[in-house]
Amino acid sequence: MRAALILAVLLPLAACGGTTRPVPMAGPQGPEAAACRSEAEASTPARNLGRQQNFDNPNLMDRLAREREQAVLRAYNDCLRRRGLVRGGGVEAVRRH
């Protein structure tokens, strides 16, 4: 009975857990794809967004995290195309506002 009560209290709190973690980049595997991942993480747009962080403003941090995720993904896809490793799929990712 006590375990059910604790579960009934904690379960709704767990549902309000906040933002979700970004999904890691899927796609081709191998040394060229790994080089593209590191190039994308070090890209100029990703670095510029990282410089704008203000840890006192959580709304800004969430927005910058989403924008950085999009910038890294864009740079990763561009690198794959340059190297001839076209990423499969043609559906644009859902945009979170």
Run means of pLDDT, 10 residues per run, the chain, 97 residues? 62 56 62 91 89 88 92 91 77 70
What's the number of domains the chain is made of?
1
Residue 36 lies in a domain: yes
What is the pLDDT at residue 9? 61
Contact 67, 22 (CB under 8 A): no
pLDDT of residue 54: 85
DSSP classification of residue 27: S
Q: C-alpha 6: how far from its chain's center?
A: 33
Domain that holds residue 37: 27-85
Task: Say if 46 falls within a structural domain.
Answer: yes
Q: Which amino acid is at 80?
A: L
Query: Residue 39: inside a domain, yes or no?
Result: yes
Predicted pLDDT of residue 51: 86
Task: Specify if 45 maps to a domain.
Answer: yes
Instruction: Report if residue 2 sits inside a domain.
Output: no
